[in-house]
Every structure is written in structure tokens, then in C-alpha cells.
Amino acid sequence: MQVACFFHSKYKSSRSTSYKKNGKSAAIHYGTGSISGFFSEDSVQLGSLLVKNQEFIEATKEPGITFLASKFDGILGLGFQEISVGNAIPVWYNMVNQSLVKDPVFSFWLNRKGDEEDGGELVFGGVDSSHFKGEHTYVPVTQKGYWQFDMGEVLIGGETTGFCSDGCSAIADSGTSLLAGPTTIVTLINHAIGATGVVSQECKSVVSVYGKTILEMLTSETQPQKICSQIGLCASDGTRDVSMIIESVVEKGSDEMCTACEMAVVWMQNQVKRNETEEKILDYINQLCERLPSPMGESAVDCGVLSSMPNISFTIGGKSFELTPQQYVLKIGEGEAAQCISGFTALDVAPPRGPLWILGDVFMGPYHTVFDYGNLKVGFAEAA
């Protein structure tokens, strides 16, 4: 048994009269680590609800320090069966199938006020009307697995970024602390809020050598998605098939130059639409090249300038959902020792599944979230 197991509550099948041996081995790889163990079957109690014959994983190995340092004792997956390990029936499915809930709906309220005793509320079978204002805006689930839906444009200070003008995909996920999105747009956001970042020499090289050429092509009849292939930085029309991905593992530098070019085209296109001068555009893109999001998602911001930072908005179901600096910046500590971290981190998912956003706790805190399993839709309303 791993050291981490000694610091958490443990399940002992020998003390259970309803335990059933399963025997299947199991392993899960997730964002910050992995676990391995085996499946068991037993009754699981959630509040006053008793879910019978529930398959679950008994973790026996958890490499790394994630679980060792955490305050939780396990993970209660609420996604669809399509992504469950070993095609096991999720606990939520069994709650519905065993008629333990009034309606096939569950909802989250995450309390972001750290000085209050209640950290939040998860309601199985409905919603708590005391935790939201007005009505929810609902969007249909587009792909079962995670709770995935279509999302519209992302705005910085009320101005469009242009990246999701043709739509992006998003998932609502309480298991993700930050708000994750494509590097191209997260870079724009972090630059706008003054977050620190990582300098990309590939990006700066693209701007230095090809910047003026890209601008000239953007103002001509050239289709933006074809520019990087026409100047030789991407293999074909800015897209990469499986063979190209394999090659990029060998020629990582070429792949990074292609990615840098694709980002630069999006950034420049947005500036061209604003009729900025060539000099200002190239200077701005160079600044973005110096502010790529930290790989670990820890981009610091100045706690003293929150009031001057822009609001960031997400368009869902035709409605704008706005986040203020106080909502999207994570403040750790108080007084002079306080540290502030950008709530935005980079995640790049290739088409057709992407571009993909993960609206984690940074978003679900300000917005009460309803997962409607019966009607396959997700709803958001201002949290109360």
C-alpha cells in the first residue's frame, strides 16, 4: 500500500456484509497523476441515499504527491458511462435507475467566500433555489462523455477575440480548479490582465521573419487558415494529420513553428480588423510571444491592480456570462504576503473535438450549474 493511503479514510471489504468481489484490475491516468487498483462492488451511501450494487475502484497505488497532499479521500465521477473505466455503471446512473432521486438532475453551488462555513452544495435530484438568481440558460449536450456543449465567442473587456466566432466546444467540470482554454486565446487574456508568462522564441522568430508577410497576406485575398502552409511553416493548410503528428515528435521544432504561426495569424487577424498600424500590430504580437501561459497554469498577476483589469465574458446559449477580476483571479494569503494567480490556463485540443474549453471552478463559482441528465442539457444562472 502506498504511503498516501495511510493519510486517508480507507474502505475495508471484510467489514461489509454487502460486499461482492469483482476481480477486475483498474488504472486511471488524469491531469496531475494516476492511480491503479481493482474493482469492487458494494452499497454506497450518499447523504440519506443508499446506492446498491455499485462498482467502484479500490486504489492501491497513487504515484506522486497529489493524493498525498489532498484533503479528499476519493473521486466521485459524474460524467457519462462513455468515459467510465471498464465501462462501469456510474453511481449517478444507479441513483436514477434505482429511483433514488425525484428528477434525473443534479446541480452545483460552489461558495467562493472562504470565510464562510459552507463550501458549497451538490444536490442530487433537483436544484436548491436559494443558491441562484433568475433563470438558468440551458444548452444541449453535444457529445456524451464529459458534459460537453457548444459555446460562442469569448470577449475581453467587451471586445471580441475572434477565436470562437465560429463556435467552440466546452465542458462544465467541477473537478477542474481553473478555467482552461486554447493557448491562443488564453495568451490574449493573460496579456490583457498583466499575467506573467513564458517567452516563446519560436513565436518571436515567426514574427521577426514572417510577420510582415503574414500581414500582407491577411490584407489580400488569402484565406487565413492557408497562410502558414503557404509560407512553409505548416505542412498543409494549417492542419496536421496523424502522419504529421508522428513526424512532429521527431521534428518538434517544426511543429512548434507551425503552432506559433497559427497563433500569430489569429492574433494579427484580430488586430487588422481594428485597423491598427503595422508597427503596432507587430509590437503587440511580440508582447504576446513573451506572455504564453505557464505550462503549470500558475501565471502570477499583481494583486494591487485588480480594479483595473478587464472583465472576461463567455457566450453560452446566446447569453453573455461575465467574470470580474475578483472572480477569475485566485488570491492566496492576505496583506503584503498575498499572491494572486490568473484563473486561466492553457489547454489545446485539436479538431474535431476542439477547440475545447473547460469551465471549471473559476466559472462554476459565480454561476450555479445544473446538469440535466433526463433532457441532456446543461444550465447556468448567477449564483446567490
Distance of alpha carbon 175 from the chain centroid: 9
Q: 484580430: which residue's cell?
A: 270
What's the pLDDT score for residue 2?
A: 60
How far apart CA 177 and CA 298 sit, in angstroms, is 12
Q: What is the pLDDT along the chain (384 residues), one digit of tens a residue?
A: 466 667 778 889 999 999 999 989 998 877 657 888 999 999 999 989 999 999 999 988 877 666 666 677 888 999 999 999 989 999 999 999 999 999 999 999 999 887 778 889 999 999 999 999 999 999 999 999 999 999 999 999 999 998 888 889 999 999 898 999 999 999 999 999 999 999 999 999 999 999 999 999 999 978 998 999 999 999 864 444 333 333 333 344 568 899 999 999 999 999 999 999 999 999 999 999 999 998 777 899 999 999 999 999 999 999 999 999 999 999 988 888 889 999 999 999 888 888 899 999 999 999 999 999 999 999 999 999
* CA torsion angle 328 333 337 343 (round to 10): -20
CA separation (Å) from 245 to 241, 249, 334? Answer: 6, 7, 46
- Tell me which DSSP letter residue 347 carries: -
338 contact partners, CB below 8 Å, separation of at least 6: 303, 331, 332
The predicted pLDDT at position 115 comes to: 75
For position 67, what pLDDT does the model report? 64
Continuous H helices in the chain: 66-69, 91-97, 183-192, 201-218, 224-230, 242-250, 252-273, 278-289, 325-328, 361-364
CA angle 314, 150, 102 (to 5 degrees): 100
Which of 3.10.20.30, 2.40.70.10, 3.40.50.2300, 1.10.287.1260 is the CATH number of 106-196+294-382? 2.40.70.10
Distance CA 375, CA 137 (A): 14
**What is the Cα–Cα distance from 36 to 60, expressed in whole angstroms?**
6
Distances (CA, A) of 238 to 201, 218, 227: 20, 15, 8
User: Residue 289: which of 231, 164, 179, 205 has the closest Cα?
Assistant: 205
Beta carbons within 10 angstroms of residue 271's beta carbon: 19
Q: What is the pTM of this model?
A: 0.87
- Which contacts of 329-334 are long-range, i.e. CB under 8 A and separated by 24 or more positions? 329/193, 329/301, 329/303, 330/178, 330/362, 331/303
CATH 2.40.70.10 residue window(s) in the chain: 3-100, 106-196+294-382
The pLDDT assigned to 64 comes to 64
Contacts of 276 (CB under 8 A, 6+ apart): 284
In the chain, % helix, strand, coil (3-state, to 5) comes to 30, 30, 40
Q: What is the fold of 3-100?
A: Cathepsin D, subunit A; domain 1 (2.40.70)
Neighbours of 95 (CB within 10 A): 22
